Amino acid sequence: MVRINEEKKEADAVTSKLFLTSINSWYKKDGIKVGVEKVSNLYPNKQDKNKRGIAVTLSVLDEMPKCRARVIGDDGQIVMKEDEETGEEVPKMTTIEDPDEVTFFFNVSIKGLEPEEVEKGEFAVNPKSSCFPLFNFAFQATGDLPQDNMKGFICTVDELKASLKGIEFMAKAKKESFSGGNPYWVLVPSVAIDIEEVGE
Q: Is residue 76 part of a domain?
A: yes
Range of the structural domain that residue 70 is part of: 16-197
Helix (H/G/I), strand (E/B), else coil: 27? coil
Mean pLDDT of the chain: 90
Q: Is residue 69 part of a domain?
A: yes
Q: Is residue 5 part of a domain?
A: no
d(C-alpha 113, C-alpha 123), whole Å: 8
| Helix H or strand E segment including 163 | helix 157-164
Closest CA to 23 of 33, 35, 31: 31
Q: How many domains does the chain have?
A: 1
Q: Is residue 31 part of a domain?
A: yes
Residue 165 and residue 36 in contact, taking contact as beta carbons nearer than 8 Å: yes
Q: Is residue 151 part of a domain?
A: yes
d(C-alpha 125, C-alpha 162), whole Å: 16
What confidence tier does 195 reach under pLDDT thresholds 50, 70, 90? very low
Helix (H/G/I), strand (E/B), else coil: 22? helix
Give the model's pLDDT for residue 67. 97
Q: Which amino acid is at 66?
A: K
If you count them, how many residues does the chain have?
Answer: 200
In this predicted model, what pLDDT tens digit does every residue of 14-51 receive, in sequence order? 999 999 999 999 999 999 999 999 999 999 999 999 99
Q: What is the mean pLDDT of residues 164-173?
A: 94
Q: Where is pLDDT greater, at 122 or 195?
A: 122
Question: How far is residue 169 CA from its own chain's centroid?
Answer: 14
What confidence tier does 200 reach under pLDDT thresholds 50, 70, 90? very low
Give the model's pLDDT for residue 97. 95
d(C-alpha 109, C-alpha 53), whole Å: 9
Q: Is residue 158 part of a domain?
A: yes
Q: 54-58, 76-80, 100-104: which range is least confident on average?
A: 76-80
Q: Is residue 4 part of a domain?
A: no
Q: Is residue 8 part of a domain?
A: no
Q: What is the mean pLDDT of residues 136-160?
A: 95
